[in-house]
Amino acid sequence: MKRLPKNADPTRTVNIVLGQDPAVDALHGCFRLNNPKGDAFAPEREVEIVARSGKKNRVSVPPALRVDLSADQKVVNTGVFHLEKIGREHATMYLLTMRAGWNQTFVDIRRMIGLDKHGSFVARLKGPDFDIPVATSSVLPLGRNNTWIGMILVHPEARRQGIANAMMQACTRYALEQGKVINGLDATPMGNTVYGAVGYVNSYRLWRSVFELAEFADKSYDRQHVLAMQAADLPEVIRYDAAAFLERGNVLSKMFADSPAGCFIYRNDAGVIQGHCFSRPGRIRAFVGPFIADTEGIARHLLTATAQKLLEDPANQTAFLDTPESKFADPGVYVERVFDQEKKPSGHRLSATLKPVRDFTRMYQLVHYTEADALVNRFMQSEGLRKDSARVADFRATMNRAVANYTETLAFMTLEREALQPKFWGITGPEKG
């Protein structure tokens, strides 16, 4: 299944009825669960399936379809839990992004999975009379040597069963088995603890923000140096980008192929690239990024050109920009482990209308050899596992393998935070939408 059929699409139907259509049962099977650690089974319920949409769907499940999860142990430690390559479950990942209130389109999902057909996973709960996809994750290659982990999404009805942790452990294992060195991600406050449990550490903060495109409608920009990106520019754009961040030609090429009209470059008088700005459609609103520029002035010209291009579509009134906290005049007051910060940053250097919505923390897996055993011990305690269990042995091998990347990862983290970040205006991992 690669798309949401109408009777399973919460944006196009009000009633989700299980027990009549296999496609609906597959996508919304999570509502069959009776989760003793979370949500109890209900034959009828009203749910805002698409987060922050203001629309509630009525979900009906025949009681005969109820699936009881164990009250004695987490489902990940039972034979019911299975982790598989995502295969044709594109629609499951797309539905999960809706439930999380994320901005990805189906095109974004297809592009991400296509970056590595073996690197995206689906978690399923399987039994004699049920097969329910409940979570997804992706290990997305940045060029040849590095990865970005994302799309770790779990249906709310299946939470508190250790699924996100198991998905993250599988992702880090896969990345390290592929010989990847720098393994990063951008964490929401909710996900930060999950990632820390597998050796990820905080680097710096960025903010998912919204700005008014009309702010730039009447502004002029340097049309002599700001040019619409062409396919012939891509090799040089990729080299410029690699010098500013990490080599990710595979990601940039596919982003450009999906949305070529919204991408711009800045060339100086000598024809040398000094900035680029990508943009693309989103499920909620347009997304600007990646967006890198050598100076604030160049960044302002690029953002003006991009905003004016987006305004050619009347549906575009606002856009998302994920921007480093360092780009605000006032960083606000940050309180750890709070999902919605009361005193967010203000005074963005490029946009007077830009308002932060929520924060991400850029994190990298950084495991020193003296820390690996402590991570393993915390894992055993949190999962209630014996030292000789297969999951513990697997986790220990993964943490020990991560130690080999310590020096290179620490060097890049320091370089990015102290030297590269000033050029970052709109940040994106390959999973962002």
- Residue 321 is assigned to a structural domain of this protein: yes
Q: What is the CATH number of the domain that holds 283?
A: 3.40.630.30
The pLDDT assigned to 189 comes to 82
Do 116 and 225 have their domain in common?
Answer: no
Do 249 and 350 have their domain in common?
Answer: yes
Do 60 and 173 have their domain in common?
Answer: yes
Buried b (16+ CB within 10 A) or exposed e, 116-146: beebbbbbbbeeeebebbbbbbbbbbbbeeb
> In angstroms, rounded to a whole number, what is the distance separating the alpha carbons of residues 413 and 251?
20
> In angstroms, rounded to a whole number, what is the distance separating the alpha carbons of residues 195 and 178?
19
Do 213 and 330 have their domain in common?
Answer: yes
Q: Is 85 helix (H, G, I), strand (E, B) or coil?
A: strand
Do 78 and 145 have their domain in common?
Answer: yes
Question: Among the three residues 146, 180, 214, which one is the final residue of a domain in this structure?
Answer: 180
The pLDDT assigned to 430 comes to 65
The residues pairing with 286 across neighbouring beta strands, listed in sequence order, are 319
Overall domain count for the chain: 2
- Residue 224 is assigned to a structural domain of this protein: yes
Q: Are 232 and 267 in contact (CB under 8 A)?
A: no
- Residue 320 is assigned to a structural domain of this protein: yes
Domain span including residue 166: 6-180
Full-model pTM? 0.95
Do 157 and 211 have their domain in common?
Answer: no
- Residue 84 is assigned to a structural domain of this protein: yes
- Residue 386 is assigned to a structural domain of this protein: no
- In the block, which residue shows the tokens 């690699």? 242
- Residue 227 is assigned to a structural domain of this protein: yes
Do 142 and 265 have their domain in common?
Answer: no
- Residue 193 is assigned to a structural domain of this protein: no
Residues near 341 by Cβ (< 8 Å), separated by ≥ 6? 332, 333, 334, 335, 358, 359
- Residue-wise pLDDT for 292-325, tens only, equals 999 999 999 999 999 999 999 999 999 999 999 9
Do 271 and 338 have their domain in common?
Answer: yes
Do 130 and 43 have their domain in common?
Answer: yes
From first to last of its 433 residues, the chain has per-residue pLDDT tens of 457 899 999 999 999 999 999 999 999 999 999 999 999 999 999 999 999 999 999 999 999 999 999 999 999 999 999 999 999 889 999 999 999 999 999 999 999 999 999 999 999 999 999 999 999 999 999 999 999 999 999 999 999 999 999 999 999 999 999 999 999 999 988 788 889 999 999 999 999 999 999 999 999 999 999 999 999 999 999 999 999 999 999 999 999 999 999 999 999 999 999 999 999 999 999 999 999 999 999 999 999 999 999 999 999 999 999 999 999 999 999 998 788 899 999 999 999 999 999 999 999 999 999 999 999 999 999 988 999 999 999 999 999 999 999 999 999 999 999 999 999 999 977 666 4
> In angstroms, rounded to a whole number, what is the distance separating the alpha carbons of residues 90 and 113?
8
Do 210 and 310 have their domain in common?
Answer: yes
- Residue 123 is assigned to a structural domain of this protein: yes
Do 422 and 287 have their domain in common?
Answer: yes
Do 174 and 285 have their domain in common?
Answer: no
The pLDDT assigned to 431 comes to 61
